[in-house]
């Protein structure tokens, strides 16, 4: 499992109802992995495998499932987006669960949704667009 597989899974499970544009990491340091639009609601998603820590990741989001690690540039991007009123989420995945967190303007993280196998993709989407 990797971040690209999370994107592919959501793309298949949302069955083309959500416009998902995967952003190349070379565009800008810290920009989220995907821009999404569903019924006029635009949001961003950063995909993370829970517990996977690369050498440059130092910002933790503690979840009941384990730690989601962000690079400083990713954290900064989410904080700036939150302060501007943007809708951006970190989607964390383990083999058996998916969690969603949203950065708050003060830099803290708010739990938005958790689903376990069998994953409830429709409820995940509903929570992302209503948050």
pLDDT, tens digit, 9 for 90 and up, residues 1-41: 888 899 999 999 999 999 999 987 665 689 999 999 999 99
* β-strand pairing of 97-103 with 109-116: antiparallel
Tell me the C-alpha distance between 127 and 125, whole Å. 5
Q: What is the pTM of this model?
A: 0.94
Determine which helix (DSSP H) or strand (DSSP E) holds 62, and give its type and residue range: strand 59-63
Report the alpha-carbon angle 114-46-6, nearest 5: 65
Please give the share of the chain, as a percent, with pLDDT higher than 70: 96
């Amino acid at each position: 499992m990797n971040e690209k597989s999370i994107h592919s899974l959501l793309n298949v499970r949302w069955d083309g109802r959500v416009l998902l544009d995967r952003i190349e990491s070379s565009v800008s340091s810290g920009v989220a992995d995907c821009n999404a639009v569903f019924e006029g609601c635009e949001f961003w998603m950063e995909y993370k495998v829970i517990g996977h820590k690369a050498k440059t990741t130092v910002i933790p989001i503690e979840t009941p499932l384990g730690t989601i690690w962000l690079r400083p540039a990713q954290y900064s991007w989410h904080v700036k987006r939150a302060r501007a009123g943007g809708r951006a989420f970190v989607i964390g995945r383990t083999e058996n669960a998916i969690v969603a967190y949203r950065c708050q303007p003060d830099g803290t993280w708010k739990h938005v949704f958790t689903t376990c196998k069998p994953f409830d993709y429709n409820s995940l989407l509903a929570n992302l667009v209503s948050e």
